[in-house]
Amino acid sequence: MPKSLYRPEYDTFLRLLRETRIAAGLTQRQVAERLGRPQSFVSKVESGERRCDVVELWDMCSAVGVDPLEFAREFEHALHSARQID
């Protein structure tokens, strides 16, 4: 099995992560400030240059005001939708 970073599901995850931040009306810089990290951290995560582990995902969800479990449900829905299109 290929590393998750190179799977289409990870692309879906990254897209949803960006969309969630944008829907919250936040810039990468604002999220980074809430995380106490540089803006480049958020940029690298969203672009897939840096992997996002579950603890970081939890923090990012909190930073944008989204329940991490709701994010997981939306991710599952996005995966199902993507598979129906394929």
Q: Which CATH class is domain 4-85?
A: mainly alpha
- pLDDT for the residue 9: 93
Domain segments of the chain as ranges: 4-85
How far is residue 42's CA from residue 73's CA, in Å, rounded to a whole number? 22
What digits encode the pLDDT tens for the residues 21-72?
999 999 999 999 999 999 999 999 999 999 999 999 999 999 999 999 999 9
Quickly state the pLDDT bin for 86 (edges 50, 70, 90).
Answer: low
CB 35 within 8 A of CB 64: no
Q: Identify which has the larger pLDDT, 7 or 61.
A: 61
CB 11 within 8 A of CB 75: no
Question: How many C-beta neighbours within 10 Å does residue 16 have?
Answer: 16
Q: Could you tell me the pTM of the whole model?
A: 0.86
